[in-house]
A and B are shown apart, each in its own frame.
Chain A
Amino acid sequence: MSNEIVLKTEDLTKHYGGVHALEGANFEMVMGEHVAIMGDNGAGKSTFVRQITGVEQRTRGKVSLYGEDVSFAGPLDAREAGIETVFQTLALADDLDVPDNLFLGREMTYANWLGPFRLLDYKGMRKATIEGLNKTAVKIPNIRNTIRNMSGGQRQCVAIARTATFHSRLTIMDEPTAALGVQETAQVENIIRTLKDAGEPLILISHNMRQVMELVDRIVVFRRGRIVANLKKEDTDGQDIVAYITGAKTGEEYMEHAV
């Protein structure tokens, strides 16, 4: 594992009018690291992610990806730079099959001189899809099935498999198992383990303490728009984290802002 810094934010801040949703977030993660972001509702987790992925424009602060300062105009720019986000609400087209969904908006084509009528390279997309699914160990009975005919877990797997197919440089998952059953959750967690083994960096937003303790290396806790703790998994436990989430405790290095 190299120590190359994947993502670094300095003083990342977002105000919605008078509401300080995110205040001075300094965050850093290195290659191959899996980091969980925890915190209560409204603590600033999603706001933080939205600034990184270009869904919203930050009020101030710096974001750098692999040492390069970035400022994304929209989620597409972020994706092109290699940040893949698995959203809470699944961004899949129900009537299309698995390869179509993986390649939605970035289809493999040929005869490109035809402009909007250029031809789809179904074969190539199918091959890349199977490679991507193999890489994540996602098991889907038939990739030609439309998403409509799939279970919630399979859908989430398809959404996650996108990241593997496109060799993303940073994967962000926003509560990927919130809507899933036990077996399906296990399936998604397995994929996350596979990504870990492959050395792919990941930010996981989750409320599930067991999941977080099992899957990630480090836990960053948000409270009231600020980062209040940065804990290595070995140095903490569930109760400790809950204390930070609820405000019973604040990390030493963050004391100056404690409320």
Chain B
Amino acid sequence: MSDTSHGTGGLSFDKTKRIWPSEMNVLLALIIIIVIFEILGQVLPYMNDQSFLFDTRGRFDSIFNEARLQIIILQVAIIGIIALGVTQVIITAGIDLSSGPLVAATAMIAMSFGQTEFVNGFANPKAVFGSWAMDLPVLIPVVIGLAFGALIGGINGTFVAYFRIPPFIATLGMFLICRGIALWWSAGNPVSFPTDQYAALGAGMMPVVWFLFLAAVFHVIMRYTLYGKHTYAIGSNEEAARMSGINVKRHKVMVYMIASMLAAFAGVVLSSKASTAQAGMGEFYELFAIAMAVIGGISLTGGRGSIIGTVLGAMVLGVIRSGFTYIKLDGSYQLMAMGGIIIAAVILDQFRQRSKA
């Protein structure tokens, strides 16, 4: 009889045997990409020896080019908040395409309750409602925005879980519905002139603070709570999850709700940052959010990935975007290159899985 078939020895919890986490690959990719842009900066003739991320102005108080770092992280922060939710949906082996238009719709709706009554002594020219909705405490527009997100997410989740509509189709429908709501809300007019409190939500580096705070919260939730464990279990083997007594349908609705509430919050922050809400806001956000997750190693077949991965994926996307601008690549090329990188990330992930299996 083989030596593995009896005896009690060999059970172990060996920290050194833990597997190389896939997040490390993303971190490695991030570093490599930064190095490539640094080298390009030195090599390309028109760059005048600029550095990508390091300070070249010869000051002693800093080694980094904070201005660029800030722009990089600020650019990804709002889409990053959406990506935190999309990550959870993808881990259940679903997808959420509705987040971009939901950002726009929520921005419009929330800001309508966050307007100030008088602008420089004149009545707010962009007022959506009468004076009863003016100068409300900031909590009211935020709660309304989150409630709207919860509603949309609840509908998404209900269609996916209870009516068994493929997530792609259910959220594609919601994609159009939300864009329609955004256009209908104020008949295409932008909503502007927020209260000071509302404007403070997304002012300066606040989007980054929200992004990192929410990332930390959801990292803990996904890793250390029942909700997180069940989310992974459902994406890993839905049948097993059901047989183990997890209420799969209810859980899925909750995941879609949380994802949409995060997207709704992103809409609030975006409108605050821009001091205006427009129906065309958030274009392609859903796709960039998905791209962040995918680059961060979240498997589209479900069950694998982490919030840390998505945060790193967001950084990769931000660095690439900023790097392209840095080497003065035209915007149209940027989109093409970014598309290629997303596909490459998925191909790499599949190779890695095959080599493991």
Contacts and interface: CB of A to CB of B under 8 A. Distances in A.
Interface residues of B, number: 39
Contacts of A126: 13
Interface residues of A, number: 43
Contacts of B241: 93, 104-105
B51 interface: no
Interface in B117-141: none
Interface string A98-121: 001000111101000010111110
A122 B10 CA distance: 20
B13 A105 contact: no
A126 B2 CA distance: 26
A186 B1 contact: yes
| B interface majority secondary structure | loop
Given A117-B227, A120-B226, A144-B17, A130 B233 contact: no
Contacts of A187: 2, 4-5
Contacts of A148: 356-357
A142 interface: yes
A134 interface: yes
B354 interface: no
A108 to B, nearest CB: 10
A105 B225 contact: no
Nearest to A189: B5
Interface stretch (B165-173, B180-188, B242-250, B328-336): B242-250
Contacts of A116: 225-227, 254
Nearest to B304: A95
Given A104-B246, A116-B225, A134 B236 contact: no
B5 A119 contact: no
A149 interface: yes
A20 interface: no
A133 interface: yes
Contacts of B8: 134, 137, 139
B9 interface: yes
A118 B225 contact: yes
A133 B17 CA distance: 19
Nearest to B233: A93
B11 A140 contact: yes
A226 interface: no
B11 A134 contact: yes
Interface string B20-52: 000000000000000000000000000000000
B245 A79 contact: yes
Contacts of A93: 232-233, 236-237, 240-241, 303
B7 interface: yes
A24 interface: no
A126 B227 CA distance: 19
B6 interface: yes
A46 interface: no
Given A92-B240, A143-B13, A187-B5, A105 B245 contact: yes
A198 B228 CA distance: 36
A91 B239 contact: yes
Contacts of A2: none
Contacts of B232: 93, 95-96
A96 B6 CA distance: 25
Nearest to B18: A144
A84 B304 CA distance: 28
Nearest to A79: B245
Interface in B197-255: 221, 224-227, 229, 232-233, 235-237, 239-241, 243-246, 254
A183 interface: yes
Contact of B224 (A91, A105, A119): A119
Contact of B243 (A91, A95, A109, A140): A91
Given A93-B303, A119-B224, A140-B10, 14 more contacts: A87-B243, A91-B239, A94-B237, A100-B229, A107-B229, A117-B221, A117-B225, A133-B11, A134-B11, A137-B6, A139-B8, A140-B11, A183-B4, A186-B1
22 contacts: A75-B243, A93-B232, A93-B241, A93-B303, A94-B303, A104-B241, A109-B226, A114-B225, A116-B225, A116-B254, A117-B226, A117-B227, A119-B225, A133-B11, A134-B8, A139-B5, A139-B8, A142-B12, A143-B12, A186-B1, A187-B2, A187-B4
Interface of A: 75-76, 79, 87, 89-96, 100, 104-107, 109, 114, 116-120, 122, 126, 130, 133-134, 137, 139-145, 148-149, 183, 186-187, 190
